[in-house]
Structure 1
Amino acid sequence: MTKPGRKRARAASGVQGRSRSEEPGEGGADEAVAFIAEQVAALRTLAERHKLDVLHYLLGMTQLEADDHLRLRTKRKLS
């Protein structure tokens, strides 16, 4: 615990100036979109179960966008 008015020192990460997109374990935009699509599907089911119609609709649109993004990226890679 720190005293009021004092900031806790940050632990050294070993790599200075690393951007958020370069964090270890991240597979890039395609992996992020796949993860988002998976999570949105679960949230959409939850919204539907609780009859949250507008959220269900908006999450459906988000899921369509993520799926479309993945489909187009896959199509480009095959070309």
Structure 2
Amino acid sequence: MDSGWGRVTRPGKRRARAASGAPRGSRNEEPGEGGADEAVAFIAEQVAALRKLAERHKLDVLHYLLGMTQLEADEHLRLRTKRKLS
């Protein structure tokens, strides 16, 4: 089962992109995808579960790094919420 992780392309070659009709580099979401806030909330939720798993198995460095990731996601959401209230 290939998850796509670790896929390397040869130097000078680029992987083909699916034609979306949107200009290259556009920040528009694909149909069915939420915005950045929804993505960050999902990441924070998943990281919390992974952090518990790392703690249970005494994977201290992973536990620490996932904790930092969770803090970053929470901070991002806090700042976005603060900006929306202004």
TM over 0.5: yes
> 5 Å matches for 1:50-69?
50-69=57-76
Match of 1:17 in 2: 21
Which digits, 9 at most, give the CA deviation of each residue in 1:22-75, with x for residues without a partner?
Answer: 212212110000000000000000000000000000000000000000000000
Deviation of the 1:17 alpha carbon: 2.5
Residues in 2 aligned to 1:44 and 1:21: alpha-carbon distance in whole angstroms:
31
Equivalent residue of 1:22, what SS?
coil
Equivalent residue of 1:17, what SS?
coil
TM-score (norm 1): 0.74
Residues in 1 aligned to 2:72 and 2:33: alpha-carbon distance in whole angstroms:
21
Of residues 15, 28, 52 in structure 2, which corresponds to 1:45?
A: 52
> Structure 2: any 5+ residue segments left out of the alignment?
1-18
Match of 1:9 in 2: none
Between the aligned residues of both structures, percent identity stands at: 91
For the pair shown, the structure with the greater C-alpha radius of gyration is 1
**Bigger fraction of residues in helix:** 1
Residues in 2 aligned to 1:54 and 1:16: alpha-carbon distance in whole angstroms:
40
Name the Cα RMSD after superposition.
2.0
TM-score (norm 2): 0.68
